[in-house]
Structure 1
Amino acid sequence: MELEPKQQQQQQQQQQQQQQQAISDIITHNGAFGRLHDVYVTFQERREAIGLSNPGTIENIAKEVQRDVFLNNLSFSGLRAELTKAFSAAPMFQVSHSLSMGSQMQPPYAYTALYGSPKVFLQGNLDNDLQFSGRFNWRWTSALVSKASVQLTSQGNMVSLENDYTGSDFSASLKAVNPSILDGGITGMVMASYLQSVTPRLALGIDAFWTRPATAYPPELNVSYAARYKAADWMACGQIIPDRGVLEASYWRKLTERVETGINCNLAFAGIGPGGPMGGPQKEGQVTVGAKYDFRSSSFRAQIDNQGKVSCLLEKMIAQPIRVTFSGEIDHKTNAAKLGLAVSIDAADEAVMEQQERGAGMDAGSIPF
C-alpha cells in the first residue's frame, strides 16, 4: 500500500533530522571535535555571564568628544539657508534645498534627497556645479550592513565599499576606497578594524590601513591599536600607530545633566618609527579642549587649542520648524576670523506631523545610516 504524499514528506523530514543529529553527535563527541565544541560552548557561556555590551566602532571610538562636544565638523563661515521638506515618516522620505554665500567650502546651491527604512538607506546630493555624491546602505540582517558611497566631482571621483558587522559585544568593519585591478595589480585603500569588549567597561581593538595609490609605488601597511574605557559619567580612549609614531588620546566627562566637556591630545613623533619620514625625528602635538552646554531650547559649544584657535557654535530653536545657528572662529596665530549664520526650516505636511506625534515614525537607530 502506497503512502500519501504528505506522509512521505514527513518521513523524509524525519530521516533528514536523524541524519543531521547523527552528524552533530559524531562531531561533538568525537575526539578533538568534541573538545573544541566544549571549549566553544564554555567560552560562549562565560561571555554571556559577564554581560558585555557592544563597544561601538574604532572609527567612532571618541564620538563623545569628537562629535558630541567638539564642533570641528559643524563650524562654517558665511551665510547659509536650508529648507527641508518631509513627505513621510515611515518610511522616512525628505528633500532639502541649501543656499550658501561667502563660503569656500559650501556650494552656492545644493539639492539633497533622502530615503530611509529598516532595510535600506538612500541619499543623493547634487550642487550647482553638477557635482554629485550619493550613499546606498543595505541591511542584510540585524547585525550586518553593507554600505556604498560615490562622489563625482571635477577634482576627481571616489568610490567606497564597506561592510559593518555589529555583534553583541564586538564590532568589525571592512572598507575599500577606490579599489582597482585594472593597472596590473591591486590599488586603492583598504581598512579593516575590530573592537572587542573584554569587560563591561573596557574594550580593546585593532585597526589596519593598507594603501597603494598606483602600481609604481610599493604598498604600505599601518596598524594601530586602540583602547576605550567607558564609565557612567566619563570616558577615556586612546589609539597608537607604532610605525608612524602617532599617539592620540581623548577624555570626556559629563559634569552635570546639561554640561559636557572633553579634551583631545594628538602627538606625532615623525621619523622615530620605521614608517616615518627621513630627515631625523620631529615632534608635533595638538591639544584641544571643549565644552558643551545644553539649554531648554538651545545648545552652545566652545573649544580652544594650543595653536591659538578659539571656536564657538550656538544653535537656537526659534520655533518648532525654525532653527538658527551662529558660528564663530578666531585664529590668533594667523590673525584671521570667520563668522557664519545659518537658518534652517523643517517643514512637513499635517499628516506627517500627526504620524510623528503618534509615534508611528521609525526609530532613527533602526535605519542603516
Structure 2
Amino acid sequence: MAAATPLEQPVPVVPAGALPPIDVTKPGSISQPTPRTGGIFDSVLDTYRSFQDRRAALGLSNPGTVDNIAAEVQRNVFLTNQTFSGLRAELNKSFSIAPLFQISHAFSAGSQMLSPYTFLGLYGTNNTLCQAQLDSDLSLSGRFNQRITDRLSFKSQIQIQPSSMAGPGAAQVSLEQDYTGADFSASIKSINPSILEGGLTGMFIGSYLQAVTPRLALGLEGVLQKPGGGMGPEAALSYAGKYKGDDWIASLQLLTQGGLQGSYWRRLTDKVETGVDVNLQFAGGNPMMGGPKREGVATLGAKYEFSRSIFRAQVDSQGKIGCLLEKVVAPPVRMTFAGEMDHAKNAAKLGLAVSIEASGEELMEQQDKVLPPTPPF
C-alpha cells in the first residue's frame, strides 16, 4: 500500500483547555501569549494582574469628583447660586435639539448683583460644549468643554471684567483636565497659569477620588499657589471621604490648615430631600488677641418636588433664612420667587423672575421624540 502524502496525514487533536481561547474580533489575538522571563518582571506583572482581578471582583463604580463630593446637598437641595433679588425676565429661544443650540435674553431691575441685560448663547453635542455670556457692562465669560475620549475630557473657562467706578478690571482663565475611570476620578486644574514673570505662576489644583468599597470612597486634593512678585509658593492639602447608603449620602473634607466640612443628604420620600452642611474653620489668631479663633456655620435645607413646582428652603446658624419656589405656569412659562432674611444683619431681599421658552411647535414636538445630547459640562 502506498504511503500517505503530507496532505493525507491525520491532524493531531489538541485537548480542550490546552490553548487560551481566541477572540477573532481583536487583531493579534492569534499570537502566542507573552512568554515568561522568570525574572522580577513576571512577579510584578502577576501582582498587578491579581490586584486587577480582586479590584474587578468588588464591583466598584465611579464615585464622582472631589469638587462635587457634596453636590447632592450644595447643588440639589441648597439655594447655592440660585437665589437672587429684584425683578428678572428671561426669554429663551431654542433652534435645534440635536445638536443643542439656543440663545437667551435676560433683563433685570432692582438688583446689585445682576446686570440690567445679559445675552447668552449655547451650542452643545455629546462631545462639545460652547457657551458665551455678555452683560450690558461689557463683562464677558465663556466656556469650552471637549470630551476627547469616553474617559478623558478637557474644560476651559475665561472671564473678563472691564474696569469701572466700582474697581479695576480683571481677567481669569481656567484650564482643567478630567479623567473618569471605572472606579476613580482624577483632575488637574490650573487658574491663570503664566510664565511671563520669569517662572511658572498661578494656582494649580490636583484631586483624586477612589472607590474603596461599593459604598465608600476616599481621596485627596492638593492646592499650590505661586504668586508673582518674588513671593514664595503656598500649598494646602485636604482629605476627602464619601459614604453612600441606600437612601443617604455622607461626605467629609478635612483641611490640613485646620478646616472641616461635612455634609449629609437623605431622601425621605420620592418627592422630598433634605441636607445638612457643617463648616468649621480653625484659623490661627493673633496671640495679642487671645489665641486662635474658631468659626463655624451649620446649614439645614429641604427640597420638595410637586407635580409642576419645586420648593427649596434653608436656615443656618447665623440667623439667615431663605426659600425658593419654581412654578411652571404653562409649558413655556416658568415663574420663580426667591426670598431671604438675615436676622444678624437686619436685612431682607426678595426676587421675582419670569422665564419664557419661545420655541416653535415643531421643536416642542421634537423634544418628546429626540433625546437631547449630553454635553461635557
Q: TM-score, normalised by structure 1?
A: 0.89
User: Partner residue of 1:12?
Assistant: none
Question: Residues 36 and 21 from structure 1, CA distance in 2 versus in 1: closer, same or farther, beyond 3 angstroms?
Answer: farther
**Quick one: which amino acid aligns to residue 246 of structure 2?**
A
Partner of 2:73: 65
**How far, CA to CA, are the matches of 1:277 and 1:149 in structure 2?**
42
Distance 2:288 2:195 in 1: 31
1:237 aligns with 2:251: yes
SS in 1 for 2:153: strand
SS at match of 2:126: coil
SS in 2 for 1:25: coil
SS in 2 for 1:318: strand
Q: Distance in 1 between matches of 2:31 and 2:262?
A: 52
Partner letter of residue 166 of structure 1?
T
Superposed, 1:1-369 pairs within 5 Å as 25-26=34-35, 29-154=37-162, 155-242=169-256, 244-271=257-284, 280-358=291-369, 360-364=370-374, 367-369=375-377
Deviation at 1:277, TM superposition (A): 10
Percent identity, please. 55
Provide the rounded CA distance (Å) in 2 between the counterparts of 1:117 and 1:71: 29
TM-score w.r.t. structure 2 length?
Answer: 0.88
SS at match of 1:348: coil
**Structure with the largest fraction of helix:** 1
Q: Distance in 2 between matches of 1:278 and 1:184?
A: 39
Change in Cα spacing, 1:278 to 1:345, as seen in structure 2 (3 Å) is: farther
- Is the 2:124–2:373 Cα contact (8 Å) retained in structure 1? no
Shift of residue 17, structure 1, vs aligned partner? 5.6
How far has the Cα of 1:347 moved from its partner? 2.1
Q: How much has 1:114 moved relative to structure 2?
A: 0.2
CA distance 1:21–1:210, shift in 2 (3 Å) = farther
Q: Based on CA coordinates, which of the two structures has the bigger radius of gyration?
A: 2
- Alpha-carbon distance between aligned partners in 1 of 2:364 and 2:99, rounded to the nearest angstrom: 14
Q: Please report the RMSD computed on the Cα atoms of aligned residues, expressed in angstroms.
A: 1.9
Q: Deviations over 1:250-288 (max 9, x none)?
A: 01111111111111001111118xxx9996311000000
Specify the code of the residue in structure 2 equivalent to 1:252: W
Residue in 2 aligned with 1:8? none
Please state whether the residue corresponding to 2:205 is helix, strand or coil: strand
Question: How far off is 1:40 after superposition?
Answer: 1.5
CA displacement 1:202-243 (0-9 Å, x = unmatched):
00000001112214211001000000001121111100012x
Aligned partner letter, 1:172: A
Q: Which runs of 5 or more structure 2 residues have no equivalent in the other structure?
A: 1-26, 163-168
**Residue 66 of structure 1, CA deviation:** 0.4
Query: Is the 1:184–1:215 contact (alpha carbons within 8 Å) kept by the matching residues of 2?
Result: no
- Contact 1:57–1:194 (8 Å) recurs in 2: yes
Letter in 1 for 2:339: G
Tell me how far 1:29 sits from its aligned partner: 4.0
| Cα distance between partner residues in 2 of 1:65 and 1:271 | 29
CA contact (8 A) 1:78 1:103 kept: yes
**Is this contact kept in 1: 2:98–2:373, CA < 8 A?**
no
The match for 1:3 is: none
**1:129 positional shift:** 1.5
Unaligned runs of 5+ in 1: 1-15
The alpha-carbon deviation at position 102 of structure 1 amounts to 0.8
Offset at residue 34 of structure 1 (A): 1.4
Q: C-alpha displacement at 1:349, in angstroms?
A: 2.2
Aligned length: 344
Q: Given the superposition, is the C-alpha separation of residues 221 and 353 from structure 1 closer, same or farther in structure 2, using an over 3 Å criterion?
A: same
